[in-house]
Amino acid sequence: MSIVVTGGAGFIGSNFILEWLAHSDETVINIDCLSYAGNLSNLQSLQDDRRHMLKVVNINDRDEVAKILDQYQPRAVLNLAAESHVDRSIHSPAAFIETNILGTFSLLEAVRAYWNELAAEEKKGFRFLQVSTDEVYGSLAAADAAFNESNQYQPNSPYSASKAASDHLVRAYHHTYGLPVLTTNCSNNYGPLQFPEKLIPLIIHNALAEKPLPIYGDGLQIRDWLHVSDHCSAIRRVLEKGRTGEVYNIGGNSEMTNIDIVRAICALLDQRKPRLSGSYADLIEYVADRPGHDRRYAIDSNKLQEEFSWQPLETFTSGLEKTVSWYLSNAAWVEEVSNGDYLQWTKTQYS
């Protein structure tokens, strides 16, 4: 038995594969094109593990994906391959259309052809799991109820629009072709191995380098924060028990403003690695707001909790403490991924 994970060298993908192989001996075929956010060092501990097979392939390469499916005969395909950073989508949306929309289409076509040739019992047990985001639902006002699975899609950035389009394709392939699909929409992830362009690793990285800690606008944008380990456990549960054609929201029950996140990181760093003088909070610097910046996201994951008895194990306090500890203990990893291209990006984005 085997499963295919696309984007398995990225942040969520690598954490999922590590978590999967910690609980199962089922082989994982990892399809990743190793873009800037795909990092082989994320999976260094699996270098000699025969249960993990890396295929350096772009999901837009339908022929190569088809060969992999025919060779390994997986019982499931989990699509975690995505361009995922909103800021990058504002500056360079073409890559998001290419990967998130066209890539998902190519992957679905390869999977549909493979699935159609399976024997009846294998065909019945097969699953395609689309990992998506809460950003497809748009923005909430302070008093609005959290997003549930029946919320209308109202994406506001090129990134969220591209993910919404890919989700619609997945839904269409279920209703038109009968492909047994599942979709998950998660809130903001954080944890180890996250590329330092996202808020939490960016702030940790900049603080330790004594660089400004950029805060968009007034810093009062609200997100629900989900530790990546809890996200991975939820994906496993949905793959195991989810009803085909259904959508499941995954949240961390931790709504926080951006400025409170940054202050919490600074307080932890003040304890763990104090500056020579003053607090890391002294480095906070407000910058021009992101165009079209959504004000609030919040996830209602009651459906997942009630159907599968799932709950996030990490509170935001415990998860952030573990995350800060990981980055302090893995400075070499951060330096490796923070290359010239990354430095130029942050300089352009926050200047």
Active-site residue (options: 87, 134, 224, 255) = 134
159 is catalytic: yes
Closest of 18, 107, 127, 120 to residue 58, by C-alpha: 107
What phi and psi, each to the nearest 5 degrees, are found at residue 51? -80, -10
Active site residue 70: no
CB–CB of 272/327 below 8 Å? no
Secondary-structure class of domain 2-191+226-253+296-314 per CATH: alpha beta
Model pLDDT, residue 87:
85
Give the other-Cβ count within 10 Å of 280's Cβ: 24
Residues of the chain with pLDDT under 50: none
Q: What is the pLDDT of residue 347?
A: 59
pLDDT for position 334? 85
Alpha carbon distance 270, 281 (integer Å) = 9
Catalytic residue among 32, 87, 135, 300: 135
Q: Taking a C-beta distance cutoff of 8 angstroms, is the pair 26, 56 a contact?
A: no
CA distance 181 to 183: 7
pLDDT at 344: 59
CA 179, CA 173: separation in Å to the nearest integer?
Answer: 6
Take residue 207 and report the two structure tokens written for it.
């603080």
Q: Which of 88, 83, 37 is nearest to 348 (CA)?
A: 88
Could you tell me if 132 and 184 are in contact, meaning their C-beta atoms sit under 8 angstroms apart?
yes
The active-site residue out of 83, 114, 137, 159 is: 159
Q: Tell me the whole-structure pTM to 2 decimals.
A: 0.94
What are the pLDDT digits (tens) for 30-86?
Answer: 999 998 778 888 999 999 999 999 999 999 999 999 999 999 999 999 999 999 888
Q: In the prediction, which pLDDT does 349 show?
A: 58
